[in-house]
Amino acid sequence: MDLRILYTDLDGTLVGPGGSLFAKPDGGVTTRATDAIAKLHERGVQLALVSGRTQDMTREVARVVGAQAYIAELGALIVDRGDMRGPEEVVRNFGTYDGAGTPYDAMARSGAGAFLLERYGDRLEPHTPWSAQRREATMLFRGELELEEAQGALDEAGYTWLMLHDNGIISRTFPGLSVEEVHAYHLVPRGVSKAGAVRIHLEREGLAPQQAAAVGDSRSDLELAGEVRTLFIVANGRASVGDAAEDTENVRFTESTHGDGFAEAVELLLG
């Protein structure tokens, strides 16, 4: 494989509990992810982060790991870091939204977030404190929903210009939620996705899907399979992805979780 770029999700994939590159779920310490990042740099393979985090949050991680590019807010912002010393170039991918101001402002005015919170009660809440950070295109929630039913409710209520994405399982409990499993959900304009952003970025870089691979842990990451040669889902992502990957030939599951799973993917790609 002529691997030129590796896209990776952050939370639940590259980083472990607490957002640490070194923390293992069992409380141990690992350096496999950092060693894998160093190997990518040594081989001249670009590293690009793909996250639901805000631009400010993703930028800081990109600086630390030496990523040449990053995609923030679940695909709404595509950022080229250039030589990583000068100004960044930002491409905004707001999908079908063409209104005044930002999609986030339009969502807030429309009452879409309030509609979801009211409808689902103690099954959904804002994913604080991160939901309160400055965002351009996404609203962030946590809880447990039947995604197709929730999307149907949004459409029926007139919010047909919005989509709800499942961005993976959060491995902790929250006292305000009465659910068995907590997921992170992003409300975005139609046409905004990690997959769409990766497609745009590859075109801008002049790279073919066959020269790219990706690593993730959620259903929103699973869509990347259509944009790259191989998609790896880390072991802790099996529950989130479920059987949705069964008919996708280029999806592989790692045996290890979180950052160790990311490292396993790099080892398989680079040898």
Q: Domain segments of the chain: what residues?
A: 5-93+192-270, 103-189
* CB 166 within 8 Å of CB 218: yes
Average pLDDT rounded to a whole number, residues 219-227: 95
Q: Do the domains at 5-93+192-270 and 103-189 have one common CATH topology?
A: no
Helices (H) and strands (E) in the chain, counts: 9, 12
Percent of the chain at pLDDT > 90 equals 87
Confidence of residue 82 (pLDDT cuts 50, 70, 90): confident
Class of CATH domain 103-189: alpha beta
220, pLDDT greater than 80: yes
Average pLDDT of the chain is 95
1, pLDDT greater than 80: no
pLDDT tens-digit series, residues 46-76? 999 999 999 999 999 999 999 999 999 999 9
pLDDT tens-digit series, residues 90-103? 999 999 999 999 99
Calculate the alpha carbon distances from 192 to 15, 122, 162, 171, 184 in Å.
24, 27, 9, 26, 16
State the CB neighbour count (10 A cutoff) for residue 132. 10
85, pLDDT greater than 80: no
* CB 8 within 8 Å of CB 262: yes
Fold of domain 5-93+192-270: Rossmann fold (3.40.50)
153, pLDDT greater than 80: yes
